[in-house]
Structure 1
Amino acid sequence: MNLWYIVVGIVFFASILIAKNTRKTKQNLPPGPPRLPIIGNLHQLGSQPHRSMFKLSEKYGSLMSLKFGNVSTVVASTPETVKDVLKTYDIDCCSRPYMTYAARITYNLKDLGFAPYSKYWREVRKLTVAELYNAKRVQSFRHVREQEAAKFIDFIKQSASLANPVNLNQKLMKLSGSVICRVGFGISLEGSKLENTYEEVIQGVMEVTGSFAAADYFPVIGKLIDRLTGLHSKCEKVFKAMDSFFDQAIKHHLEDESIKDDIIDMLLKIERGEIGLGEFQFTRNNTKGILLNILAAGIDTSAQTVTWVMTHLIANPRVMKKAQAEVRQVIKNKDDITEEDIERLEYLKMVIKESFRMNPIVPLLIPREASKDVKIAGYDIPKKTWIHVNIWAVHRNPNVWKDPETFIPERFMDGEIDYKGLNFELLPFGSGRRMCPGLGMGMALVHLTLINLLYRFDWKLPEGMKVEDVDLEEAYGLVCPKKVSLELIPVLTQWT
């Protein structure tokens, strides 16, 4: 009798496995590399997942299946598959999976970047685009950008007079931080609770939110693993620093009613019901979630963009010479440089595009999640599958770009390709419903800063350094900064 029960049990479980495998074979999943038990393909990510995924996609295809612990994932790596995800099937692929530390950082997904696609997200997106990121609002903060840029240039002048090298990574982060603090929070970075830690905090946010966290892939033991690796404590440290800063800025507004027309002022009006948000009650945590997007994305993306442009220029003297010649010819002996000047600087615009191509600020877009079963490029993508869009792979694809590892701004000479989400060969800000809404505000500061740096100064490498010594490697995070800080010596020009 006992043997009979054993046989029945074996047959029962075998039938379940057969049925399960039969269901699997009916799905035409994208190809992918073999997996290890339990961890799947996590061991293949390395320290730079965007590069590792690119190499794997060269073998397994433009749409590739990976498994991270319990999570099934696909990776889109060519303009065609990326267009399918971000445009053709955008409505089915634009939600977000739950990510443990992103949820913590964003006050339980009260932001725009990591919140799942929902009626709440649509209402907040519509309101913030209309109220925060419209052209009129961007223009209204022009005086802040110009004042902070002037302070930055004064510091560079002092360094030039002493022939001191400038750590552009640090100084550009401070410039962006100073602008964002005034524009978004109505307070100066100097004297705030982030004054001495803003760079560490912002980079910490990007590392935490861009991490492949064990908690997201291993439901039972993941959080324990993250505590052992230090990811959990880093998240808590960053969150507490930001939260304290937000409290300081909000208190400042509540105590001084004369502060008007900055971003916190608008968010507080939504809290009070003076600006409607449909059926949703907007709480203090909603305000802080939106402020997190503005603080982290606003500071880091602008600063890293200018840093990468200057890195590629100093590493390519021919391009530097040509870019400076154009700026100086167009600006001439004009001391009052304005944001509109970029419109006449066709070569500099090409340089910026090529820098975005070589070093997209967000090489792996924030993961998406399929909200229902969908078919892409002939393959089945089941509901709840995570979708990674590998912008790095698109930008380095030799079938799309000739000599993709070489910095050649002239490839954009015809002006047909831009970075505003309509050309799927170049997508530094993404595309579709989830495209970065702060593009205009961020690029205004990028343009103003670059024109000043190229017009007013010549640039040299520190003593003993050669062009070929310039490090072009990136560190990994949601936003990828330069791994080794860029230090250059400014030289005063006749216009300075």
Structure 2
Amino acid sequence: MESTDHMRFFAVPVVLLVLSFLFLSSRRRRGTLQLPPSPISLPIIGHLHLLAPIPHQSLHRLSQRLGDIFSFRLGSVPCLAVSSASAAREILRTQELAFSSRPMSKAVGYLTYGASGIAFAPYGPYWKYMKKLCMSELLGARTLDLLLPIRRDEVVALVRTLYDMSKEGRTTVDMGGELVRLTNNVICRMTMSRRCSGTEGDLEEVRKIVAGVAELFGKFNLADYIGICKDWDLQGLDKRIEDIHRRFDSMMERILKEKEASRRKQGGGMKDLLDTLLDISEDASAEVRLSRHDIKAFLLDMFVGGTDTSAITMEWALAELINHPNILRKARDEIEAVVGKKRLVAESDLANLPYLQAIVKETMRLHPTVPLIIRQSSRVCKIKGYDVPANTTVFVNMWAIGKDPKQWSEPLEFQPERFTEVGGHNVDVRGQHFELIPFGSGRRICPGTSLALQLVQSALGALIQCFDWEAEGGGTVDMAEGLGLTVPRAKPLVCTPVPRLNPLPLD
């Protein structure tokens, strides 16, 4: 008994000595790391207070003081902000494998069925399979060509709707709502062979779900960053997350059951993307057996990534054109020279409309719909001479890069000509030129890039060709930004479309 007491007596200081040694060793190792500069933090919350109300703008202001790469903490989570094309290249290309995964937030994990689908799945075999499936079957060139009539139908329907509204004497139109209707119907028909706006209730439900998901993905939830808040719903977000998930799951379950019933009755025929996903889920020899949750998560990716972002890009572009009538006239002159007035601009015309393409590029530079590329480091690595620890959340600020005066002359001005002049006409948006990466870059570049560009350019071309545009009440359009994962306008674009061709060239 006495021997045991002596052992306990000596064990306590030995344990304390070992722990002290490990702590001091850790401090010394950290002291040898060359970490990026960091602003002064507060206890517990770190730098959360510095990122309100619009994170990408706040990070941009900090970068002007701290440089194009700096570290910060969101609660207990180490983070890195990158605001230059050269640093973005190091993360997204040079050391891409170390930054190929995305951090998992509470909202993302719950709403995407545990990061199924493709947008938020961890980098690994499942994600690689889904990416290959997207590029070969779901969103590849062959599939997009087959589904071209759907995009054409919906662009024609939008133009006809706006024309009818003007003939009925409606002086103003919420163009944000009309553009969401366009993109919603394109995605719904491509994925499920049905229009989401068959009834106003269906359309409104899809719009609310997409807007809610985008907002929740973009919110800083204290439970994700501060340990003591993990089990507390201090911001009231848990109830909203659960409500949106329940509504989306219910809608998708109904659609899946209807699709399965129609497949049993009809057998073959033209397949949509949902048919392809269900075929794979029923194929016992498939490389990866897709579960029902996997299919629902992929459809959520399609809705959020394919409707909200494209509609917002067109809304920003139209707002800029209203504020710059000379650019609008120049774009219309180009379209009339190539297309004329007797037929509607088509996707096949886009290659011959470089100024229209430049307008879209300039819109994506000034108003990237997803302003921050968010990744997570899987190992310790060096970026521009600084050490980046493993499990660091990285924010590549595309919004700031698009306004970098080292990359762009007069960066705050809307000047499409910068993409038609020598030196700028070759700048692409497909992830190769890091001063302009609205769709990301590398392995995790958005798989819907081609679809988005085809739809946005052809629809915007039709709106330019067929209508003159006036801001509500005259004057200019307010260009303030709103909140969310995407960058919506703070105020809806309410304007007046004035038909300029009679009859409309809709055949």
Correspondent of 1:437 among 428, 447, 455: 447
Rounded to whole Å, the distance in 1 between the matches of 2:35 and 2:14 is 33
- Does the residue aligned with 2:311 lie in a helix, a strand or coil? helix
Rounded to whole Å, the distance in 2 between the matches of 1:11 and 1:261 is 68
User: In 1, are the aligned partners of 2:37 and 2:71 still within 8 Å (CA)?
Assistant: yes
Correspondent of 1:372 among 368, 373, 379: 379
Amino acid at match of 1:479: T
CA 1:9–1:433: 2 relative to 1, 3 Å: closer
What is the match of residue 481 of structure 2? 474
After superposition, the C-alpha distances for 1:113-132 in whole angstroms (9 at most, x for unaligned) are 11111111111111121111
Deviation of 1:190 after TM superposition, in Å, equals: 2.8
Deviation of 1:56 after TM superposition, in Å, equals: 0.5
Rounded to whole Å, the distance in 2 between the matches of 1:336 and 1:221 is 55
- 1:423-434 map, 5 Å: 423-434=433-444
> Is 1:211 aligned with 2:219?
yes
After superposition, the C-alpha distances for 1:7-33 in whole angstroms (9 at most, x for unaligned) are 999988765653332121011111111
Rounded to whole Å, the distance in 2 between the matches of 1:416 and 1:93 is 27
> Is 1:65 aligned with 2:74?
no
Rounded to whole Å, the distance in 1 between the matches of 2:390 and 2:349 is 48
> Is 1:170 aligned with 2:177?
yes
> Matched residues, percent identical?
32
Rounded to whole Å, the distance in 1 between the matches of 2:34 and 2:309 is 38
User: In 1, are the aligned partners of 2:282 and 2:289 still within 8 Å (CA)?
Assistant: no
Amino acid at match of 1:320: L
> Is 1:84 aligned with 2:93?
no
TM-score by length of 2: 0.91
Rounded to whole Å, the distance in 2 between the matches of 1:268 and 1:14 is 57
Deviation of 1:181 after TM superposition, in Å, equals: 0.9
Question: How many pairs were matched up?
Answer: 485
Deviation of 1:41 after TM superposition, in Å, equals: 0.6
- Does the residue aligned with 2:202 lie in a helix, a strand or coil? coil
User: In 2, are the aligned partners of 1:112 and 1:293 still within 8 Å (CA)?
Assistant: yes
Amino acid at match of 2:429: Y
Rounded to whole Å, the distance in 1 between the matches of 2:130 and 2:285 is 12
CA 1:191–1:230: 2 relative to 1, 3 Å: farther
What is the match of residue 141 of structure 1? 147
Rounded to whole Å, the distance in 2 between the matches of 1:274 and 1:145 is 34
> Is 1:343 aligned with 2:347?
no
Correspondent of 2:294 among 286, 292, 297: 286
Extract unaligned runs of 5+ from structure 2.
1-9
Deviation of 1:149 after TM superposition, in Å, equals: 1.6
Correspondent of 1:36 among 20, 39, 42: 42
User: In 1, are the aligned partners of 2:356 and 2:457 still within 8 Å (CA)?
Assistant: no
Amino acid at match of 1:76: V
CA 1:52–1:445: 2 relative to 1, 3 Å: same
Deviation of 1:422 after TM superposition, in Å, equals: 0.4
> Is 1:46 aligned with 2:15?
no
After superposition, the C-alpha distances for 1:177-206 in whole angstroms (9 at most, x for unaligned) are 111111112222134773222222111111
What is the match of residue 413 of structure 2? 406
Amino acid at match of 1:221: C
Rounded to whole Å, the distance in 1 between the matches of 2:285 and 2:180 is 33
What is the match of residue 394 of structure 1? 401
> Is 1:243 aligned with 2:249?
yes
CA 1:322–1:163: 2 relative to 1, 3 Å: farther
State which drifts further: 401-410 or 14-23. Answer: 14-23
Deviation of 1:59 after TM superposition, in Å, equals: 1.3
User: In 1, are the aligned partners of 2:38 and 2:72 still within 8 Å (CA)?
Assistant: yes
Extract unaligned runs of 5+ from structure 1.
none
Correspondent of 2:273 among 260, 263, 267: 263
What is the match of residue 127 of structure 1? 133
Amino acid at match of 1:53: L
User: In 2, are the aligned partners of 1:87 and 1:432 still within 8 Å (CA)?
Assistant: yes
After superposition, the C-alpha distances for 1:303-349 in whole angstroms (9 at most, x for unaligned) are 11110110111111221121122122222123243211111111111
User: In 1, are the aligned partners of 2:181 and 2:203 still within 8 Å (CA)?
Assistant: no
> Is 1:454 aligned with 2:460?
no
- 1:149-160 map, 5 Å: 149-160=155-166
Correspondent of 1:315 among 296, 307, 323: 323
- Does the residue aligned with 1:195 lie in a helix, a strand or coil? helix
Rounded to whole Å, the distance in 1 between the matches of 2:209 and 2:42 is 35
Deviation of 1:95 after TM superposition, in Å, equals: 1.1
Deviation of 1:99 after TM superposition, in Å, equals: 1.6
After superposition, the C-alpha distances for 1:254-287 in whole angstroms (9 at most, x for unaligned) are 11123641011000011001672x2x33211111
User: In 1, are the aligned partners of 2:181 and 2:197 still within 8 Å (CA)?
Assistant: no
**What CA RMSD, in Å, does the superposition of the two structures yield over aligned residues?**
2.1
